[in-house]
Amino acid sequence: MTAEDQPLLRVRGLEKVFPVKKGIMRRTVAQVRAVDGVSFDVGKGEILGLVGESGSGKSTTGRLILRLIEPTAGSVELEGQDVRALRGEELRKTRRDMQMVFQDPYSSLDPLATVADVVGEPFQVHFKMTRKERDNKVVELLEQVGMGSHHLRRFPAAFSGGQRQRIAVARALALEPKLIIADEPVSALDMSTQSQVVNLLLDLQERLGVAFLFIAHDLSIVHHASRRIAVMYLGAIVEVGDAEEVYARPRHPYSEALISAIPVPDPQAERDRTRIVLKGDPPSPLNPPSGCRYHTRCAYAMEICNTVDPEPTPTVNGGTVSCHLHTSGPMLNGRPISQSLRNTSG
């Protein structure tokens, strides 16, 4: 990779182990590997969708990148600079370049602070500005997210969920970040406001060239908004690839099941299709399965899956998949499951 096409964000081997403590002495009795060796890149101005179910470690990954939680191992580089090595003032400065939008706009805005305070907070933290200057900036930001300046002195309780999320986005934009980590930004919103917020994010990406790490459990929205998708399961990325490719031709059995599980708004299609219903629950991250972490629920599990953790293998367009079906199974040529395995093995 040359210096020019160096990605904006490069994450390598990111790990987070949470100790489980018990008793008065707070002894560590077990460890949860919430994030277990995650690697990916986000290009400049790119939207990368990070999809997974609860407990997959997707939100933790977002927080590790921002160092809201300290990683146990691995590296996070923003434009070539190692974020993990930063201390004090330097870290605060770098945080300007990476901002976060949180899932629940009801708890991410201080209920006792006005819109001017919330959106103006980054200026208060990083710059010396008079209240007047700050308010002017806030009005500009509110306009960017499609809200009027008359909201300035209102409290969060006066707004609907969608409006609150706009306010939260305005706050994230204040410091002109290069990357916004959006952690389930629409899942707490009403359906008619979800698309408003998704469109807002797309507009911002286009207009301001901000890159997004779009963390969500809803594959249909992620697929729509992102250029590439990474699918996480139990702390690891099992498949990365072009959004269209992953959505239409999933190569990992888990991606396939996840896509199949989304109910589509078409009763005829719902009746016709055979849905892959996954057996059982996701295993506890306290005690992840040996070998491939997905093998306990996988319909195509082979013997090797019980013992050997599969390495990422390249697919098309720079995508990768971590599955033995593609290295030692019936899909050696890297074809999607829907095309090869289902027809051959029935």
> Which positions from 101 through 160 interact with other proteins, judged by CB under 8 A?
102-104, 106-114, 117, 121-122, 124-126, 153-160
> Which positions from 21 through 40 interact with other proteins, judged by CB under 8 A?
none
User: In the set 15, 79, 140, 218, which binds other proteins (CB under 8 A)?
Assistant: 218
> Which positions from 273 through 332 interact with other proteins, judged by CB under 8 A?
275, 277-278, 281-282
Residue 71 CA to residue 38 CA, distance in Å, equals 11
> Which positions from 162 through 191 interact with other proteins, judged by CB under 8 A?
162-163, 168, 171, 175, 188-191
CB of 11 to other proteins, least distance (A): 17
In this complex, which beta carbon is closest to other proteins, that of residue 189 or of residue 323?
189
Residue 205 sits in the site that holds other proteins (CB under 8 A)? no
CB of 22 to other proteins, least distance (A): 16
Residue 257 sits in the site that holds other proteins (CB under 8 A)? yes
CB of 174 to other proteins, least distance (A): 8
Query: Residue 219: which H helix or E strand, with range?
Result: helix 219-225
- In this chain, which stretch among 7-15, 37-45, 252-260, 330-338 interacts with other proteins, using CB under 8 A? 252-260
Minimal CA–CA distance to 327: which of 306, 346, 310?
Answer: 310
User: In the set 38, 42, 58, 99, which binds other proteins (CB under 8 A)?
Assistant: 99
CB of 68 to other proteins, least distance (A): 6
CB of 268 to other proteins, least distance (A): 7
C-alpha distances in Å from residue 336, one per residue of 130, 228, 256, 323, 325:
58, 17, 9, 12, 10
CB atoms within 10 A of CB 300: 19
Assign 3-class secondary structure to 198-213: HHHHHHHHHHHCCEEE
CB of 333 to other proteins, least distance (A): 26
C-alpha distances in Å from residue 191, one per residue of 166, 180, 194, 196, 198:
15, 23, 5, 9, 11
Residue 14 CA to residue 16 CA, distance in Å, equals 7
Residue 160 CA to residue 169 CA, distance in Å, equals 14
In this complex, which beta carbon is closest to other proteins, that of residue 261 or of residue 332?
261
- Tell me the residue type at 30: A
Residues near other proteins (CB under 8 A), total: 84
CB of 277 to other proteins, least distance (A): 5
Query: To which residue do tokens 């949470």 refer?
Result: 18
